[in-house]
């Protein structure tokens, strides 16, 4: 099967590398899943490099796990830029090796006791704290990671938790190269410990062991695109292809309407009213439904995708996958990946990763076009206008009109 995907020179190299059997089995796994030819070639190359990396570090193949996969992906990222392909490829390899029995199955992490704890904590976050579903999901993710890091698959005994466990859990994000997640993990862990303190299960002093990552409110400006960057960004998407029409429509939903990545991924067919020209967003982060008017080009982009791009699907979401598994609703990660790859082709945006810059751009353009902050807050779904106030800071022209002149030396004399 190697000859179907690679030229003779590459086939000779793969067969002589000492891991031909593993690579051939992995290639067959990718072929059965129906991955695109280029994807197969990229993944096989990353796995080849991974096997060489294991040999250099004297790690046997049977010992690999998720931590080793992340370590390899981080090492690739430091030397060669974004490590998304490396991470995805080796995760697929790990899945294949486990199904083949070459690597031990992932140890069970969801014990009934842990699930009961997380269910009670999730109920507290939702009913008592009033957090949005997406925030609850993130908090539970970090809570589960903390419990696993301290207790593994053993019995959960909170009295055994000490400051060193707390600090080691946060420090591992820096060791694995997940620096951006360290702050979120600290906030989530602090919330978990406060809940446990209320239940009398941990000492109040344990909360103080969680490191703080200071972020001063209103201290920075939101990252926004210029008009030229917006044009270049939207021109990246190849609308002659079905997936390009999908990606273009998703991008417009963010650039023109300021939708969050979750709102784009969760948008359903019944939420789009083509006759009225509106989009209905059901219970977003602010827990309020809102109906937004669709600008003309957003409406045209969505209709073009639905009529000439969207594959047959049993899912009710507007945007679905065009690769394996075809027709399944897109995820937040897929939407982020699409936008990240588009950023890489726009001058000045090459290092951007998230999608909030597009939401910032939409809000800034609305404000500059004359919309007041209350209108912008309603469109974005902000509960508090204070959250929207930061966009006034980027309207330099209006700020110049209200700025007082700097007093001269004569004016300051008594």
Nearest CA-CA partner of 377 in 369, 367, 368:
367
User: Active-site residue among 141, 184, 356, 368?
Assistant: 356
- How far is Cα 10 from Cα 18, in angstroms, rounded to an integer? 14
Q: Which residues of 311-336 are buried (b: 16+ CB within 10 A; e: fewer)?
A: eeeeeebbbbbbeeeeebbbebebbe
pLDDT, tens digit, for every residue of 338-379?
999 999 999 999 888 888 889 888 888 887 777 777 777 777
Other Cβ atoms closer than 10 A to 108 = 7
User: Active-site residue among 245, 246, 321, 359?
Assistant: 359
What are 9's two structure tokens?
Answer: 């020179």
| 391 assigned to active site | yes
- How far is Cα 405 from Cα 249, in angstroms, rounded to an integer? 45
Other Cβ atoms closer than 10 A to 249 = 27
- How far is Cα 297 from Cα 252, in angstroms, rounded to an integer? 8
Other Cβ atoms closer than 10 A to 53 = 17
Per-residue confidence (pLDDT) for residue 265, from 0 to 100: 93
Nearest CA-CA partner of 272 in 312, 318, 304:
318
Per-residue confidence (pLDDT) for residue 397, from 0 to 100: 55
Domains and CATH numbers, the chain: 2-99 (1.10.150), 112-209 (1.10.150), 227-400 (1.10.443.10)
User: Active-site residue among 70, 139, 246, 285?
Assistant: 285
| 57 assigned to active site | no
- How far is Cα 302 from Cα 296, in angstroms, rounded to an integer? 10
Which segments of 258-348 does DSSP mark as H helices, in order?
261-266, 296-308, 332-343
Contact of 139 with 188, CB cutoff 8 Å: yes
Angstrom CA distances, 270 to 260, 278, 281, 284, stand at 19, 11, 10, 16
Per-residue confidence (pLDDT) for residue 402, from 0 to 100: 46
Helix axis angle for 332-343 and 242-257, nearest 10°, is 90
Q: What's the residue count for the chain?
A: 414
- How far is Cα 134 from Cα 136, in angstroms, rounded to an integer? 5
Residue 49, classified by CB atoms within 10 Å of its CB into exposed (0-12), middle (13-18) or buried (19+), is middle
Our measurement of the distance from residue 290's CA atom to the centroid of its chain's CA atoms, rounded to an integer in Å, reads 24
Tell whether omega for the bond before 325 is within 30 degrees of 0, i.e. cis. Answer: yes
| 285 assigned to active site | yes
| 87 assigned to active site | no
User: Active-site residue among 190, 260, 322, 367?
Assistant: 260
Strand partners, 293: 278
Query: Model pTM?
Result: 0.63
Residue 293 belongs to what H/E stretch? Answer: strand 290-293
Q: Compute the chain's Rg from CA coordinates.
A: 25
Nearest CA-CA partner of 43 in 102, 103, 81, 92:
92
Contact of 192 with 124, CB cutoff 8 Å: no
| 142 assigned to active site | no
Contact of 327 with 320, CB cutoff 8 Å: yes
What is the chain's pLDDT, residue by residue, as a tens digit (414 residues)?
Answer: 788 899 989 989 998 888 899 999 999 998 887 787 888 899 999 999 999 999 999 999 888 888 888 888 888 765 554 457 888 899 999 999 998 888 887 765 567 888 899 999 999 999 999 888 888 999 999 999 999 889 887 888 999 999 999 999 998 887 766 777 888 899 999 999 999 999 999 999 899 999 887 766 655 667 889 999 999 999 999 999 999 999 999 999 999 998 989 999 999 999 999 889 999 987 655 556 788 999 999 999 999 999 999 999 989 999 999 988 889 999 988 999 999 999 999 999 988 888 888 988 888 888 777 777 777 777 787 766 666 666 555 555 554 454 456 565 555 555
What are 233's two structure tokens?
Answer: 């960004």
| 260 assigned to active site | yes
Contact of 23 with 11, CB cutoff 8 Å: no
- How far is Cα 46 from Cα 403, in angstroms, rounded to an integer? 55
pLDDT, tens digit, for every residue of 286-305?
556 788 999 999 999 999 99
User: Active-site residue among 124, 142, 305, 391?
Assistant: 391
């Amino acid at each position: 099967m190697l000859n179907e995907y690679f030229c003779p020179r590459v086939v000779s190299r793969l067969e002589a590398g000492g891991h031909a059997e593993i690579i051939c089995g992995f290639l067959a796994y990718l072929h059965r899943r129906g991955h695109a030819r280029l994807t197969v070639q990229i993944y096989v190359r990353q796995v080849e490099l991974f096997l060489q990396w294991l040999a250099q570090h004297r790690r046997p193949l049977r010992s690999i796990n998720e931590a080793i996969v992340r370590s390899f992906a981080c090492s690739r990222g430091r030397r060669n830029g974004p490590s998304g392909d490396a991470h995805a490829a080796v995760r697929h390899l790990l899945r294949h090796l486990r199904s083949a029995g070459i690597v031990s199955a992932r140890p069970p992490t969801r014990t009934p006791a842990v699930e009961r704890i997380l269910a009670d904590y999730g109920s507290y976050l939702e009913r008592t704290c009033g957090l949005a579903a997406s925030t609850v999901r993130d908090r539970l993710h970090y809570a589960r990671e903390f419990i696993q890091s301290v207790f593994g698959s053993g019995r959960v005994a909170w009295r055994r938790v000490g400051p060193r466990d707390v600090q080691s859990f946060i420090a591992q994000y820096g060791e694995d190269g997940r620096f951006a997640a360290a702050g979120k993990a600290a906030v989530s862990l602090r919330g978990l410990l406060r809940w446990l303190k209320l239940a009398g299960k941990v000492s109040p002093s344990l909360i103080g062991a969680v490191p703080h990552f200071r972020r001063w409110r209103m201290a920075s400006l939101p990252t926004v695109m210029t008009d030229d960057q917006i044009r270049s960004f939207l021109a990246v998407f190849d609308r002659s292809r079905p997936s390009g029409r999908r990606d273009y429509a998703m991008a417009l939903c963010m650039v023109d309407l300021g939708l969050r990545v979750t709102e784009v991924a969760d948008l359903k067919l019944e939420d789009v009213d083509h006759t009225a020209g509106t989009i209905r967003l059901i219970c977003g982060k602010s827990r309020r439904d809102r109906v937004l008017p669709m600008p003309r080009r957003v409406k045209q982009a969505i209709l073009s995708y639905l009529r000439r791009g969207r594959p047959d699907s049993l899912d009710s979401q507007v945007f679905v996958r065009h690769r394996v598994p075809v027709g399944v609703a897109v995820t937040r990660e897929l939407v982020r990946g699409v936008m990240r790859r588009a950023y890489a082709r726009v001058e000045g945006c090459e290092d951007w990763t998230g999608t909030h810059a597009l939401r910032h751009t939409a809000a800034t353009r609305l404000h500059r076009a004359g919309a007041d902050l209350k209108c912008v807050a309603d469109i974005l779904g902000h509960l508090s206008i204070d959250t929207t106030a930061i966009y006034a800071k980027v309207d330099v022209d209006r700020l110049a009109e209200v700025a007082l002149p700097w007093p001269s030396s004569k004016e300051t004399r008594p």
